[in-house]
Structures are given as C-alpha cells and as structure tokens.
Amino acid sequence: MLASLGVACVLPFELFLFSYAVLGPLHYLTQISWLHQRQYFVPRRRDALLLVAPLAAVLAQQAGWIAFDIGRWEPVLNALAVGIALAIVFCRGTRARAAVIGAAAFTGLLLLDVRGAHDVLRVFLPTLLHVWLFTGAFVLLGALRGRSATGFASLAVFAAASAACFLLPTGGQARAVSPSYDPILPLNATLLDWFGAPARSRDEALFSPLGLAVARFIAFAYTYHYLNWFSKTSIIQWHRIPLAWTVTNLALWIVAVSLYAWDYSLGLAALFALSYLHVYLELPLNGRTFAEIGRQLGGLAGLRRAALLVGCLLFPLAACSGSAAPRDGATTPLRVAAASDLAVALPQLVELHQRRTDRNVDVIVGSSGLLSRQIAQGAPFDLFFSADAGFADGLVRDGHAQAQDRQVYALGRLVLWSTAAAGAPESLAELAEPRWERIAIANPEHAPYGRAARQALAASGVLGSVSPRLVYGENILHTLALVRSGNAQAGLVALALAAGADDGRWILLDDALHEPLEQVVVILAGTQDADAARGFLDTVASPEGREILRRLGLVLPGETLPTEAHARGASGGG
C-alpha cells in the first residue's frame, strides 16, 4: 500500500498507465475466473447473464450496430446494472425483481440530466467507486469479521494513504505526459469539477497543484486495488483455479499487454468490454459486501461506527474540496473541448461571453483527434471546436453531435516558427540543412496541424531529409512549447498561436502546400443546455468575436489576414 502511494506521489501518470495496462488485464481475467467459480455470488449462475444485457447495449453502440448517444444513456445503463445486481441478490420472486430493476431504470432516467448524478453513475461508478470505495469496503468487512486490530489498522492506513495523495506537497511543474493518458483525462477533469476547481486546459488538469493531487489519488487507487486483489491468496486460493483457466488467462493477458505496448489506445479499445464486464459481474458481490457490513455493525451504535468509518474513507475527498458544486453556485459552467490552436483565442472569447451573459465557461484544449475520441467515449462536454472538419463530422455521423448546429468558424494557417536564440529559417527548404537538428510538428496521427505539417514538408521536397530529425508534440500547443524550451530549433505551428506569442518569429506558409484546415464547431448530443451552447456560438460569431479570431489569423473564407498576422514574417512557400 505504502509502495503504491510512494510511486504515485513521484510518477502518478506513469504509474497509472503501467498499472492499467499490465496489472489491469490480469486482474480482470483472474477475478472473472474467481467469480465464475463462486457462481458470481447470485442464486443461480445464469442470473448473472442479466448483468450482461446493459453491457451488450454499450458494446453494440460502440460497434456501430445501433445508433444512440452512449455518453447520454450510459448512466441509465449503469443504474440498470446496479438494480439488476440488487434484484438477483436480494429478491426471490419475479415480480419483486422486476420492480427493483424497473425502479433502478426509472431512477436513472430521472437523474439523467442531474449533472452530479450523471457523474456518479457514468464516470465514477466504473472507475473510482469500483477501485477505491469498494476496495475500502472489502478492507472494512475483513476487519469487522475478524475483529482484528490489524484489520482496522489496515483500514486506517488505507484512509491515511488516500488523504496523503492530496495533503502532501505537489511541487507542481509541467512536464511531458504521454498522449496515452488523454483518454483518462475526463476522470481527472470530472473530479476537479467536484472539487469546485474546473480545469480550463489540459495542462491545468494535469499540472495544477490539485490536478497533480488528483492524478496521484487515481494512480494510487488503481494500483492498490490491483495489488490488493493479487495479495488475497487465502480468499482467492490460486491453487484451486483449474489449469485450463490459468493457461487461458495467462495467454489472454500476454495478448492484452502486447496490445497496450503496440498502441495504448488500441489496448483501451480492445479491453473496454473486459474491463466493463468485470465491473458489472462484481456488483452482486458489492451488494452482499455492504449488506454484510450492515449486519456486522448492527443497531444504532453500529450506525455511529459506520458513519465514523465512512467519514474516514471519504476524508481524502473532503480534505481538498470546498464544495462539489460549481463555484458560482448558480449555474453549471458550459464545458468546451477545443483544438489547442485556440489556446490564445478562447480565453478572450470566454471573457467576452461572460461579459455578455454572466455564464461561466470551462475549456479543455488538446488535439482534435484525442478530444473527439474522448467525446465518443462519453466525455461530458457541451461544445467541440475541432481544427479539422473530419473529426467533427465523424461525431455527427456517429450520433455524438448535432448536425443542424455544425459551423465552420475558421480556416487554420500554418507557420514555420522559431525562437530568436535559434535563428530563423527563411523557408521550409532550409530545414534540410543539418544545423536544424530537431524540428517539431504535432503528432499527425491525431493532430490536424501535424498532418498538415507533414503534407507541407512533403510538398516542399524536404520530408525525406528531415524525417529522422522530427520530434512530435502531443498537440500544436505542445509543439510550440518544444521549440520555446529549446527541445527543437524550429517548428511548424498554428498561426493562431504564433500571433499570440510574445517571442520568436515566423514565416507564414502557403496554404496550397497542404489540405485546407477547415475548422468546425459542433454542439454535442450529450449537452444538458443546448440553448446555452448556441449562445456561446452567437458570441463567437458576433463582430467582437470574429475580430478576436481575425486578429489571430483565424479567418473565414473571404476574410483577409490582418497586418499584425505578418508582423514577424512574410508569406512563403518554402
């Protein structure tokens, strides 16, 4: 436990990625095997098949077999799974089971547009509630059954270690975090929202003091959850697991780890069903665990003891959180996911919108490809500003965004940017010279500006010579940072960022060198306030909003770039 805490405090992101990819699949496989041997803790093994029904709906949508917005309806499916688990464990008659399952589904529908309930059912239930709260409950039950001082001491250490994730100093400083962590970022962002400190950018979500504390807590919770499972040898009785199950589990585990090693996002997609399946199949055991805790405690005195113990478990969250509600206490902030080339423009647009409406807006910036993937997986955003029409149109096609509100808000432009200390190349052709040892571009696999950069280098005839010297930013904002920090001598970045920088110089590249960077905004299907989202689009399209974008080189077809967009460079084709 303390080892998990120590590594989480030093390397939170790396520990999580390792634990989730290496320990996670083995945990899913061995726990499902163990649950199967114990009949899934339900009266009849076939009863567990009922739990697969909500999961089947999730998987069918993921596979594209049925069209519905999983980000909106997943809370109802998770509530239904909880109801099914409670019904098959505690109800014997068909009518009683149907009533409990129906009540759970109806409750999920009632809470569908309640943001806090949406977060609990969709974000926290299959993640932190599963790996942290349920783990704490198992530790508590073991201590109660054994009436053991060691057991209660273990519970106290678990609570103290959880609290330490937040209370120990973070010394927060920005550093490179693998893009593999980005699909996990909605969990961090949602927890920050609950603490009343919503992150307005990827860096703030990751590197603010509270952001780092949250990352520590998540890494600790997952790692200890897995290690605690593997340590329960007397309960699991590894030696009694049939050899065929063991060999199959090891083979599947090797395949899973290989997928993560090959492509982390591929591993996440491939293991999605298995991870969700083990969460659902454990729900009957979770229900029995809490029922047994109640029996062990018993009576009013027991309730007081339970309140004290639950308070200890929840202390880490309360210690750093003034309130789980939005900071203004009146209105839920509008949540915007935006391509990182808007990192300069969006704060100005948000300020303009707040002056016009008094509505708070929270912004997360990142690469368009990774953001679109998070949205498809149900990340709770209201608007998506994409640097590429393809990612936005893909969300519309798959039912995650509303077609009627699709708007082109700008055509992106690419510049060759460098700092004064590095000197300044006068053309793309000059990058072929060996003195330009490292050249930064955004990752072309998920960043539209990265794809455009490769096309421009290829069209200029230098891609072959510069390819060994390319370094890749996680997004176009990170690409700019690579050059600014000296990790690259030059970079192909967005004009919208270069125009907002107070250092370096650039050469504006001919937009004929690459496919058009048509930038599109869409209102997402899972928004809880479409009118407020349209209100923000009205601000963006207003004369004041268009002027903010135009000053940074984000122009629409027919608009001309302002003079200041050429202040530190001139057009050139390389």
pLDDT of residue 348 exceeding 50, the answer is yes
Other beta carbons within 10 angstroms of residue 455's beta carbon come to: 16
For range 362-387, the mean pLDDT: 85
pLDDT of residue 145 exceeding 80, the answer is no
- Confidence (pLDDT) at 227: 92
pLDDT of residue 86 exceeding 60, the answer is yes
User: Regarding beta strands 383-386 and 490-494, do their DSSP bridges make them parallel or antiparallel, or are they unpaired?
Assistant: unpaired
Q: What three-state secondary structure class fits 491?
A: strand
Domain ranges of the chain: 2-173+186-320, 335-574
pLDDT of residue 456 exceeding 90, the answer is yes
Question: CA-CA distance, 481 to 239, in Å (whole number)?
Answer: 53
- Confidence (pLDDT) at 223: 94
**Strands of 470-473's sheet, edge to edge?**
470-473, 439-442, 490-494, 414-418, 505-508
- DSSP, res 526: T
pLDDT of residue 324 exceeding 70, the answer is no
pLDDT of residue 538 exceeding 80, the answer is yes
For range 353-364, the mean pLDDT: 84
Q: What three-state secondary structure class fits 505?
A: strand
pTM over 0.85: no
pLDDT of residue 327 exceeding 80, the answer is no
CA distances from 338 to 384, 419, 519, 561 (A): 6, 26, 10, 22
Contact criterion met (CB below 8 Å) for 367 and 179: yes
- Confidence (pLDDT) at 565: 52
- Confidence band (pLDDT; 50, 70, 90) for 434? confident
pLDDT digits (tens, 9 = 90+) for 539-557: 999 999 999 998 888 888 7
pLDDT of residue 294 exceeding 70, the answer is yes
Contact criterion met (CB below 8 Å) for 218 and 124: no
Contact criterion met (CB below 8 Å) for 462 and 432: yes
pLDDT of residue 71 exceeding 60, the answer is no
- Confidence (pLDDT) at 220: 94
Contact criterion met (CB below 8 Å) for 12 and 6: no
pLDDT of residue 84 exceeding 80, the answer is yes
- Confidence (pLDDT) at 309: 45
pLDDT of residue 325 exceeding 70, the answer is no
Contact criterion met (CB below 8 Å) for 551 and 498: no
More confident: 116 or 263: 263
Contact criterion met (CB below 8 Å) for 449 and 386: no
For range 227-248, the mean pLDDT: 79
pLDDT digits (tens, 9 = 90+) for 151-189: 788 888 989 999 999 888 876 554 667 777 877 888 888
Q: Which of 14-23, 309-318, 330-339, 431-440 has the lowest mean pLDDT?
A: 309-318
**Strands of 383-386's sheet, edge to edge?**
361-366, 334-339, 383-386, 517-523, 407-412
- Top mean pLDDT of 171-180, 213-222, 242-251, 471-480 is at 213-222
Q: What is the CATH number of domain 335-574?
A: 3.40.190.10
Q: Please, which residues have CB within 8 angstroms of residue 72's CB and are 6 or more apart in sequence?
A: 112, 525, 526
Tokens for 44? 């009849």
More confident: 424 or 351: 351
The pLDDT mean for the chain works out to 81
pLDDT digits (tens, 9 = 90+) for 91-144: 888 888 888 888 888 887 777 666 677 778 878 888 898 999 988 888 888 888
- Confidence (pLDDT) at 323: 35
- Confidence (pLDDT) at 299: 45
pLDDT digits (tens, 9 = 90+) for 378-401: 777 899 999 989 999 999 998 889
pLDDT of residue 337 exceeding 70, the answer is yes
Q: Please, which residues have CB within 8 angstroms of residue 195's CB and are 6 or more apart in sequence?
A: 210, 214, 317, 320, 321, 322, 324
- Confidence band (pLDDT; 50, 70, 90) for 405? confident
pLDDT of residue 319 exceeding 60, the answer is no
